[in-house]
Structure 1
Amino acid sequence: MEAAGKLTPELKLRIENCINATELEDIYLPYKPKRKTKATVAIEKGLEPLAQTIFDQTKNISEEEIAAFFTEQVKDKTEALQGARDIIAEWVAESEQARTLIRSMFQESSTISARVLSTKKNQKKRKNTATTLSLKSL
C-alpha cells in the first residue's frame, strides 16, 4: 500500500491499532491487487458513473440516461444495468462497514444446524460395519 502511494497517515494508524486479523483483512481488502472481475470489466466499459447514480439512489434513472452508456461494448439496457450491478456488488463486498455489519448480524442472530443426509447415513453404517469387522478380526 505504501509503494502504491495509498497509505495515508490515518490508514497507517488504523492498521497499527487493529486488534485482529479479520479487521486487518477488512482494512486491506480494497487495496489488495485483484484479478479481472465482472466489475472491473464493467468499469472498463465506462459503466461506473451509472453504477454510482444507481447506488446513490437520489433519482430515478430514465431510459435515455441508461442509453447514454450504450457503446460497441454495451449493446443494450440489460447489459448496462448488469454491469452497474456487478460494480455495486463489488463495492459492497469490499466495504469494511458492510462486512462488519453483516458479520455482527450473523454473530447476534444466526443459528447453525446440521443433519446427516440419508445417503450419508447409509455410507456411515457401511463404514462402521467394515470398521467393526476389521477390529473383530484382529
Structure 2
Amino acid sequence: MMPTAKEVEEIQEKQLQNPDMQLGVPEQFVLMLSKIPCLLERLKLWIFTLDYKTMEKDIAEPLMDLQLAMKEMEESKTFRKAMSIFLAIGNSLSGTEIKGFQLDYLAKASEVKDPVYKHTLTYHLAEYM
C-alpha cells in the first residue's frame, strides 16, 4: 500500500509547523518512501521481474503443447488417413464430392447418420479403420 500524495503532504506540513517534533517510525518511513524517484513504477517492475518466469511458463507451456500436437498431426500417417476416410465417408453419405471440411465439423460427426442403417459417421470411420 503506497502512501498518497495527500498523506505525504500532511506529514511534511506537520513537520514544518513543528520542526522540533519527533516523527514516529511510520511517518519517517512514509517520508523516506516519498523521496524515492518513480517508486511505484520501480515496485511494479520488481513485481513483474519476480513473476516473469511463472508468467512465461503459463504462456509458453500451452503453446509448446499446441505446437507439438500440430507437428504430430502433420507427421501422422494414421491421422491423415483417418481424415481422408472421414471425408470419403462423409461424401458418400451426403452424395457430394467436396474436397475438404472445417475442423469444427468433426464435433458433428457423431450426429451425422447414414440413411439406411442409421449408423453415425464416426461408427463408419471406426469400422473402416
TM-score calculated relative to the size of structure 2: 0.26
Identify the structure with bigger relative contact order (alpha carbons < 8 Å, sequence gap 6+): 1
TM-score calculated relative to the size of structure 1: 0.25
